[in-house]
Amino acid sequence: MTSRARAHGVGTQAMKENVNDPKLVESVCTGGDPERKKPCVEGMVGMYINHHGALEPARELCGRLETPDRGTCHETVGRAPRCSTLRARSTARRGPPDAVADPL
């Protein structure tokens, strides 16, 4: 595994565990080797998109990141599949919702 792949994985896992604190995850990505920052930010943004199943929350995230990381964030969002594709894949993994019994 390359150092780039490891850095991407760090960003992904850090976001998975701290999805409600993206600034903390960004600090994890920016705190190490400068060469690993970009793949780490790409991983964190990718997981954020996956978590929300939509691109708009990730676009909003890009605006909240530190200025040097915004370009990588926007590039990652730009490469992501469109929302309808994300929702279709998410639904396919989960399957149809279970039937809910009528409480009456």
Tell me the domain boundaries of the chain: 3-92
pLDDT over 80 at 87, yes or no: no
CB 86 within 8 A of CB 49: yes
pLDDT over 70 at 98, yes or no: no
CB 85 within 8 A of CB 92: no
Mean pLDDT across the chain? 86
Q: What is the mean pLDDT of residues 51-58?
A: 96
pLDDT tens profile 56-81: 999 999 999 999 999 999 999 999 98
| Residue 47 CB partners (closer than 8 Å, separation 6+) | 11, 12, 13, 15, 16, 19
pLDDT over 60 at 30, yes or no: yes
- Could you tell me the pTM of the whole model? 0.78
